[in-house]
Amino acid sequence: MSGPLEGIKIVELAGIGPAPYACMLLADAGADILRVDRPVRGAPQTDTGPYWDLLNRSRRSVAVDLKRPEGVETVLDLVSGADALIEGFRPGVAERLGLGPEVCLERNERLVYGRMTGWGQDGPLAQSAGHDIDYIALAGALWPIGRAGEAPVPPLNLVGDFGGGGMMLAFGVSAALLAAQRSGKGQVVDAAMVDGAASLMTMTFAFRALGLWTDGRGCNTLDSGAHFYEVYETADGKWFAVGAIEPQFYDTMLKLVGLDAADLPAENDRSTWPDMKERFATIFKQKTRDEWSELFAGTDGCGAPVLSPWEAHEHPHNRKRGTFVEVDGIIQPGPVPRFGRTPAVVSRPPSRPGADTDEALSDWGISDERIAGLREVGAIG
């Protein structure tokens, strides 16, 4: 292992989406995370190719049946020697399993207990089902995303699941770990996607308070209203993005596209934005995406080619920085952020559920005799 979290031990109760993403970030940063998966029933898997779930990289998996008391007790033993536990169940599920925060903190008072939900641990919607689109809708983060006169556009599941969810959980757990080191006391971290998505909107609230953001959709600087912060189709049917907000960058962009600021209306005259967008659209149709990319490269014109996820790893800048890595034959985004002294790494490809049960339990202090006994009663897989 390497990274700034080397030596930190975390138990992860396997889930989907944001909680695994938080654990991926923490594991890439060096934490020893043990993912507790459900045992796989039926015939063993015969696929020997790379396991697909990249969110589960950099950590090992043990298969434990949490419906058996022996399985629950095994997890509590792991908790006794852990710095944190992370779960992403609906409120109350961990408690019903016998692995709620009260029980776990009684076993280990220094434990940081990280919880990931959509609506939070309390509130009228706490027990309701939902997905990213629902959480960001209620947070006020979905409404502004889209073009004028059109419906809001879901930004994949980046804002709720991963930005407002997984990253906030990773931040919260890291902060609580620091507090536990100073105080000797753990605590519960209640990370909710609706809260996190709302937090991501803080700057928009500031702009509105300053009168810089109107209530319409697609008519503001950052929401496709402005001609200088927009995506334009190029001659080859691809796309090029410009984001020249500041006056000096705007002037540079104008020169690159062959325009003179003296012949144009003021940059922030909103009444002229629609006409300027049409003019820019005509200009950008005159060159291919790669031609525009070459023209803007290395300048302060604030322009970049719109790359697909599958070609982004080929861009020279991303290659130089190692933004993407190849692990077990699969290209994927690399660890973030960068650490100068203790670099984060993808320490291992994702393990299939239960693939590391014996080895990992032994490393975490469970005796071979007990492992054999747990397998005999069906508590581990």
CA triple 286-289-272, angle to 5 deg: 60
Q: Please spell the DSSP secondary structure of 239-287, one letter per residue.
A: EEEEE--SHHHHHHHHHHTT--GGGS--TT-GGGHHHHHHHHHHHHTTS
Residue 44 has pLDDT above 80, yes or no: no
Neighbours of 104 (CB within 10 A): 24
Strand order in the sheet with 187-192: 60-63, 32-37, 9-13, 84-87, 112-117, 187-192
According to the model, what pLDDT value does residue 45 have?
A: 56
Same domain for 221 and 107, yes or no, is no
Q: Which two tokens stand for residue 221?
A: 């600087």
According to the model, what pLDDT value does residue 2 have?
A: 82
Q: Which two tokens stand for residue 79?
A: 């908790």
**Residue 49: which pLDDT band, with cuts at 50, 70 and 90?**
low
Same domain for 34 and 103, yes or no, is yes
- Residue % of the chain over a pLDDT of 70: 98
User: Over the stretch 54-113, which tens digit does the pLDDT of each residue have?
Assistant: 999 999 999 999 999 999 999 999 999 999 999 999 999 999 999 999 999 999 999 999
CATH number at residue 125: 3.40.50.10540
Structural domains of the chain, count: 2
Residue 47 has pLDDT above 70, yes or no: no
**C-beta separation of 152 from 142 below 8 A:** yes
- By residue range, what is the domain housing residue 229? 216-233+239-305
Same domain for 283 and 344, yes or no, is no
Q: What is the mean pLDDT of the chain?
A: 96
Q: Which two tokens stand for residue 31?
A: 């934490």
pTM of the model as a whole: 0.95
Same domain for 43 and 120, yes or no, is yes
DSSP state of 358: H
Neighbours of 326 (CB within 10 A): 11
Same domain for 151 and 254, yes or no, is no
**C-beta separation of 146 from 152 below 8 A:** yes
Return the sign of the alpha-carbon dihedral for residues 340, 324, 170, 74.
Answer: negative
Residue 48 has pLDDT above 80, yes or no: no
Residue 273 lies in a domain: yes
**Residue 186: which pLDDT band, with cuts at 50, 70 and 90?**
very high
| Cα distance between residue 152 and residue 366, in whole Å | 52
Residue 250 has pLDDT above 90, yes or no: yes
**Residue 118: which pLDDT band, with cuts at 50, 70 and 90?**
very high
Same domain for 179 and 47, yes or no, is yes
User: Over the stretch 129-165, which tens digit does the pLDDT of each residue have?
Assistant: 999 999 999 999 999 999 999 999 999 999 999 999 9
Residue with tokens 């702009």: 207
**Residue 50: which pLDDT band, with cuts at 50, 70 and 90?**
confident
Residue 216 has pLDDT above 70, yes or no: yes
Q: Please spell the DSSP secondary structure of 172-191, one letter per residue.
A: HHHHHHHHHHHHS--EEEEE
Within 13 Å of residue 74, how many CA atoms lie on the same side as its CB? 33
- Mean pLDDT, range 325-344, rounded to an integer: 96
**Residue 280: which pLDDT band, with cuts at 50, 70 and 90?**
very high
Residue 211 lies in a domain: no
Is 315 annotated in the active site? no
According to the model, what pLDDT value does residue 41 have?
A: 72
- Residue % of the chain over a pLDDT of 90: 96
CATH number at residue 264: 3.30.1540.10
Same domain for 352 and 244, yes or no, is no
- Mean pLDDT, range 347-365, rounded to an integer: 96
Residue 43 has pLDDT above 60, yes or no: no
Considering 65, 161, 190, 356, which one is annotated as catalytic? 161
Is 368 annotated in the active site? no
Please, what is the end-to-end C-alpha distance for the chain in angstroms? Answer: 26
Q: Please spell the DSSP secondary structure of 24-59, one letter per residue.
A: HHHHHTT-EEEEEEPPPPSSPP---S--S-GGGTTS
Residue 82 lies in a domain: yes
According to the model, what pLDDT value does residue 106 have?
A: 98
Residue with tokens 């770990």: 177
Residue 65 lies in a domain: yes
Same domain for 294 and 339, yes or no, is no
Residue 297 has pLDDT above 70, yes or no: yes
**C-beta separation of 234 from 296 below 8 A:** no
Final residue before a domain boundary, out of 305, 337, 359: 305
According to the model, what pLDDT value does residue 104 have?
A: 98
User: Over the stretch 10-40, which tens digit does the pLDDT of each residue have?
Assistant: 999 999 999 999 999 999 999 999 999 999 8
**Residue 42: which pLDDT band, with cuts at 50, 70 and 90?**
low
| Cα distance between residue 220 and residue 231, in whole Å | 14
Same domain for 24 and 73, yes or no, is yes
Same domain for 35 and 79, yes or no, is yes
According to the model, what pLDDT value does residue 46 have?
A: 53
Residue 331 has pLDDT above 80, yes or no: yes
Considering 77, 131, 300, 315, which one is annotated as catalytic? 131
Same domain for 24 and 112, yes or no, is yes
According to the model, what pLDDT value does residue 51 have?
A: 84
**C-beta separation of 223 from 145 below 8 A:** yes
Residue 318 has pLDDT above 80, yes or no: yes
| Cα distance between residue 22 and residue 145, in whole Å | 25
**β-strands 239-243, 303-305: how paired?**
antiparallel
